[in-house]
């Protein structure tokens, strides 16, 4: 896994995605790409993704902040005394935490 996140004030941020979003460079998945992605995953992964997606879309902005602040990988790396915290949270750390949940 190559994705990396930083422990920002409102939760973990994928800096590459953040920068692309700010420059309007993000491209949405087509329905066919989404279907292909789901076909390639096993049913357990798809069930988890569906559950998490529903939870995320039904949360307010600060509900999502609260949810991300419960993650140990974020709280271990975030330091409120550092204005622009760039402590890296690896995708592997996030996956390992969520495997235990």
- Write the pLDDT tens digit of every residue in 36-74: 988 898 898 889 889 989 989 999 999 999 999 999 999
3-state class of 45 per DSSP? Answer: helix
Quick one: average pLDDT of 80-84? Answer: 88
Residue 17 has pLDDT above 50, yes or no: yes
The average confidence (pLDDT) of the chain is: 90
Closest to 74 in 3D by CA, of 54, 62, 59, 90: 90
Rounded (to 5) percent helix, strand, coil in the chain: 55, 10, 30
Instruction: Record the pTM.
Output: 0.73
Q: Is the pLDDT of residue 1 over 50?
A: no
């Amino acid at each position: 896994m190559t994705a990396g996140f930083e422990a920002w004030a409102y939760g973990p941020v994928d800096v590459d995605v953040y920068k692309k979003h700010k420059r309007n460079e993000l491209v949405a998945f087509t329905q066919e790409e989404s279907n292909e992605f789901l076909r390639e995953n096993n049913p357990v992964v798809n069930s988890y993704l569906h559950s998490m997606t529903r939870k995320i879309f039904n949360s307010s902005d600060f509900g999502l902040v609260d949810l991300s602040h419960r993650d140990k990988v974020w709280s271990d790396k975030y330091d409120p005394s550092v204005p622009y915290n760039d402590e890296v949270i690896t995708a592997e750390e996030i996956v390992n935490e969520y495997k235990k949940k």
